[in-house]
Amino acid sequence: MRAFLRDQNGHVASIFALTLLPVLGFIGVAVDYSRASALKEQIRTVSDHVAIAIAASEIPSRAPDFLDGAKNELQQRLGDRIAHLSVTGAWLDASNYRVAISGDLATAIAAAVPGMPKSISVGVTTIANRLPAAYRVLPPHMSLLEPEAADYNRAYLYCYNPDRKNEPDKGRRNFVPIADNATPPTDFSKKIEGYALPQCTPDEFPAYMMRNVRNSRTQPANWDRDRDYYEYFTDTVIDQNTHVMSDIVVSDYIDSNRVRRVNNISTTPMLETILCDNASQCRQTNEGGILPMRQTNRDPRVATGACTSGKYMYYGWEDRPGGDRDYDDIRIIISCPEREKVAEKHVRIVE
């Protein structure tokens, strides 16, 4: 050992130099990965915050604004320490929103060592889950059930759960009558003790049903008897994010022998839906609105826009399959269902 230490040939310095580079490399990588871990926690805080904010927002179209805000915040915090910064997000389904943030952290020490990485990729993903929002059911803005018709027509509000459509009740419950074409029309709020509009749970959507009793408008004794009648169900589903209402119209007919028959609504349309930006639009064109004038043998319109707060939806039914196809025998105008606000306490991080 003493001989090795007295060696003057420069071997020690060479060996030390060769050993120093890997040591510095390992130290540099350790320091830089520690910096990357700290940066990852900073990014995760932002990712969690923006995911919760978007999931709790009542305006889904604002998601890009939240994401842009998060990216700007990170750029201001980190400056040139991170490159190729990416902040993206997407709905996985009606209840789960995913935010992904990634970037490259420039190494400080390891970059000086040959063969060591010049940057470290850092990325986090957050999935925020929100409880489905419940919808507050409102009475019709206007009911136009043909008073001159021979048939008796009554409209109901009910709650529909598409996940239970194969159960005996077909996912429909809590039927409450709201209007009819009696003379004068029945005031259901006064006639029914304890009258209240249906309270739908967060996994249900407010929908409308029409009951049509043959040749019975002037015969109240027949209105609720099991004799020739149709029932039309608008099994409504509302997209939690776009607020677009999809109505799957089902028509069941009970004949005089009490045999239930289902009509093919796809080949015999029964319902027209028109979205109005305000109540004034939900008038006929001759009154300055957008609703069609009476015309037979036409194809019904189908609303595809978002039924958001402040707007109105027009429903126009044929009272029976194979009719004159004017889609105004039974008409209802409703204000779009009011979606209860999703509080942040109803949003949680699941990943």
Q: Are 251 and 230 in contact (CB under 8 A)?
A: yes
Give the per-residue pLDDT at 15: 47
For the chain, percent of residues with pLDDT exceeding 70: 71
Measured distance CA(90)–CA(96) in Å, rounded: 9
Measured distance CA(351)–CA(349) in Å, rounded: 6
> Residue 82 above 50 pLDDT?
yes
Q: Nearest CA to 93 among 194, 198, 219, 241?
A: 241
Give the per-residue pLDDT at 99: 92
Q: In what order do the strands lie in the sheet with 172-180?
A: 172-180, 152-160, 205-213, 229-238, 245-254, 260-263
Measured distance CA(229)–CA(231) in Å, rounded: 7
Does the global pTM surpass 0.75? no
Beta strands in the chain (DSSP E): 82-91, 96-106, 119-130, 135-136, 142-145, 152-160, 172-180, 205-213, 229-238, 245-254, 260-263, 271-276, 312-317, 330-335, 338-339, 347-349
CA 36 to chain CA mean position, Å: 37
Q: What is the mean pLDDT of the chain?
A: 77
Q: What is the mean pLDDT of residues 25-39?
A: 67
Q: Are 32 and 120 in contact (CB under 8 A)?
A: yes
Measured distance CA(181)–CA(144) in Å, rounded: 8
Q: Are 228 and 260 in contact (CB under 8 A)?
A: no
Confidence band of 277 (pLDDT split at 50, 70, 90): very high
What SS3 state is found at 329?
Answer: coil
Angle at which helix 11-56 crosses helix 63-78, to 10 degrees, equals 150
- The pLDDT tens digits for 199-208 are 788 788 888 8
Contact residues for 75 (Cβ-Cβ < 8 A; gap 6+): 85
Q: Are 312 and 283 in contact (CB under 8 A)?
A: no
